[in-house]
Structure 1
């Protein structure tokens, strides 16, 4: 079903396989222009005949150009074709259990109406439930204006689409615009206001959705190594869809039907917010975050309120690196009377064997449950060799 084997409750099945992954990321800055890019790919094959297998590829590029001392333009593109989407909530850990490459380059490509930020939290395909083929694309661009050291303004637009190959999964088209203003109170603190508009629809389904967002932001540096970011506001969503309504008893007796389909319109109001805390030291770093707001769904559940809690930590001790990561996600359907929960947690470790050659281990658990089905767990583990030529000189 949808690219995953059906396993009876209480039963257990093991899948074994092999794969490989590679990635490249980098950047270049000139006097007025900066460019950053990344590309990551993997191949996986499992013993289960119905288990999705094949190549996954994701890439992105971000460009900014300073037109004058106070005006800059920026643009970001990202695209991919992968098994199970791409992001922190992917079904097998982060990216098929192989980890992310270059995700800090590219928040919220979903419905926060903001430029593409952290691709691993893109809001488009970062919470797919099944290892089925997903093709996706996102783009954003805009202009920023900074008249002095305290004030800054920016605005632009973004768009994206998702095409899912799994039977019964819904595709997505989305577009939006955003604007914000910020004021630097001190060297450590910046406050701001944001507004966004987004429209999204599901191909082959009648109807459409429009959403407006507004909120306030706060960014505060608690110490040189610790930063706190807060965003809080509200949204309104207008939706048009086909719904069933009861038929007048006399007409029902005449026609022999109790309900009929008609075009319906509804409005939804709610709050949205984000809180992140990060800290870095010389040998290790950690970050935690929480996000609540409107989301276009993951192909199974459509327009919904989504709560996300996520965190990660890493430490380097000599030749050994250790990492922990985890996330919990909950959707509450607005048009569907259903709730969906998913999550994952895991650990990774790496050992530098010689020079730029590393041996790595990655493993953990992931789960999902719905209103109609009990929680289902999956275990995943991988062993891999990584060559990372940190001393190589790449020029362009």
Structure 2
């Protein structure tokens, strides 16, 4: 366990490190609002090549090709994810957005065995996003803030939401150093978007994305990369606000044209604003990993990664544990069409208990991620099996987490987006805190249909179903007992996006 003064000190070190990394960003945005990635380290890859390498000829005697990193197919053990979007010219700009929607919500209080009563909820959101480029430095900053107003339900207070994402990177000829921070204040969990279950509402904003495709600005769980560093609040009941933050610092360095190594460290925490009597547990996670990658060909690479996690629960008697993992990775990509990542390996979990002493468990840890682009449809699928902090419900859990996203333009003005998520978590520690259950599963299904009215204005309708189920009946208080919480949310709204204001 960590002393209480270690947590703010560690967080301060990560924040200071991020501010010391001089800024600029790795992404841009098309006129339709979809993110497209361009890395300045890829530009440096081209300009740093020798003349013979640039025109495809073999280097002359004594000339060696310059090691470099690809933004389309980055090292598997790093925190960047590859992109299928076409590269566009990097630009520095500022952009604003706003969104309003009206939702019909069942079980607005997110109660166990909640009834089918419908509550009208008005959402208002706004965002601002900045990206700035220098010759070797990049930065990205995105903020989303808003509120929900409940009509005709005196048992639920109006709520607010805030998310902040900051990325900063310095690049050089053979590598890059990147700081990332994701902070959020939500009235509920983030699995499927949260915020009265309106995943389609919150995901409609969120700025421009992050440094590295797939790392969205805001609440997304991410793929296998950031998921290992902290998954957030994957399930919950009631409307108990929480604050989460994930800060990471990672280094990538090319050793040769085919090989590279990576180092990364991070700190993640969940803090519930209201006291719950030990029913919901704050958690703190410290993570480090190191990896080596070797490119087999232009389309495939392999890697090995060692990871370490330390989980701490700041409640006397809640215990803590640490995890060591070793994964072998394989990646395959077709430029503009396909990205596939597979990884698996052993996982050693060490528990230190006052009653049971020191114990170690051996299990498996694995991940899979697929991003495929059909001529008119894009499908993203991810799966992660790992030990997690327990999502505030348990003091540690063995978790299976899966996501499926489908995006398809239906016509020049109509777009469809679908999202499915599933989580199954089994308790790791038998402590007298958290929800008195052995396991839980949560999931959601959502869809959003949008129509473009102009370059800056679009309307949308969305629907989302969410569910949470425990393996036994749970009592939140004497008046609220049950095993399952379900919710339906139907929304209609309008979104506005400003033109990009050039900064260079």
How does the TM-score come out when normalised to structure 2?
0.67
- In structure 2, the CA distance between the partners of 1:37 and 1:314, relative to structure 1 (3 Å rule), is same
SS at match of 2:256: coil
Q: What is the CA-CA distance between 1:119 and the residue it aligns to?
A: 4.8
Matches within 5 A, 1:168-317: 168-206=279-317, 207-222=319-334, 224-242=336-354, 262=355, 264-281=357-374, 283-316=376-409, 317=411
SS of alignment partner, residue 371 of structure 1: strand
Unaligned runs of 5+ in 2: 1-107, 222-226, 431-436, 474-482
Higher helix share: 2
Question: Shift in Å at residue 283 of structure 1?
Answer: 4.0
1:205 is displaced (CA, Å) by 3.1
Q: What do residues 187-228 of structure 1 show as CA deviations (whole Å, max 9, x unaligned)?
A: 110110001111111112333211111101111015641111
* Residue 491 of structure 2: aligned partner: 382
TM-aligned CA deviation for residue 229 of structure 1 = 1.0
Which aligned pairs between 1:304-383 and structure 2 lie closer than 5 A? 304-316=397-409, 317-336=411-430, 338-373=438-473, 374-383=483-492
Cα–Cα, structure 1 residues 359 and 38, in superposed 2: closer, same or farther, change >3 Å?
Answer: same
Q: Which moved more, 1:48-57 or 1:342-351?
A: 48-57
* Residue in 2 that maps onto 1:111: none
Displacement, 1:280? Answer: 2.3
Distance in 2, Cα, partners of 1:332 & 1:89 = 22
Q: Any stretches of 5+ residues in structure 1 without a counterpart?
A: 108-114, 243-261
Report if aligned partners of 1:86, 1:94 keep a CA contact under 8 Å in 2.
Answer: no
Residues 89, 126 of structure 1: 8 Å contact kept: no
Cα separation, 2, equivalents of 1:294 and 1:196: 12
Mapped contact 1:279–1:287 kept (Cα < 8 A): yes
Structure showing greater relative contact order (alpha-carbon pairs closer than 8 Å, 6 or more residues apart): 2
SS at 2:292's partner residue?
Answer: strand
Deviation at 1:87, TM superposition (A): 4.5
Q: Deviations over 1:74-104 (max 9, x none)?
A: 2112212111133546474464843252484
CA offset at residue 132 of structure 1? 1.9
Higher strand share: 1
TM-score normalized by the length of structure 1: 0.84
Aligned partner of residue 220 in structure 2, secondary structure? helix
What's the counterpart of residue 128 of structure 1? 235
Shift of 1:116: 10
CA contact (8 A) 2:113 2:486 kept: no
Deviation at 1:376, TM superposition (A): 2.9
Please give the alpha-carbon distance, in whole angstroms, between the structure 2 residues aligned to 1:212 and 1:379.
40
1:149 Cα deviation from its structure 2 partner: 1.7
- Residue number in structure 1 paired with 2:39: none
Shift of 1:23: 2.4
1: distance between equivalents of 2:216 and 2:451?
Answer: 33
Aligned equivalent of 1:112:
none
Distance 1:375 1:98, change over 3 A: same
Alpha-carbon offset, residue 236 of structure 1: 1.0
Separation of aligned partners in 1, 2:156 and 2:235: 15
Superposition deviation, residue 158 in structure 1: 0.7
SS at the partner of 2:453?
A: strand
1: CA distance between counterparts of 2:335 and 2:123?
A: 42
CA RMSD of the aligned region, Å? Answer: 2.6
Identify the residue that residue 45 of structure 2 maps to in structure 1.
none
**SS of the counterpart of 1:127?**
coil
Find the aligned partners of 1:7 and 1:215 in 2 and give their Cα distance.
38
- Residue 257 of structure 1 corresponds to none
In structure 2, the CA distance between the partners of 1:349 and 1:116, relative to structure 1 (3 Å rule), is closer
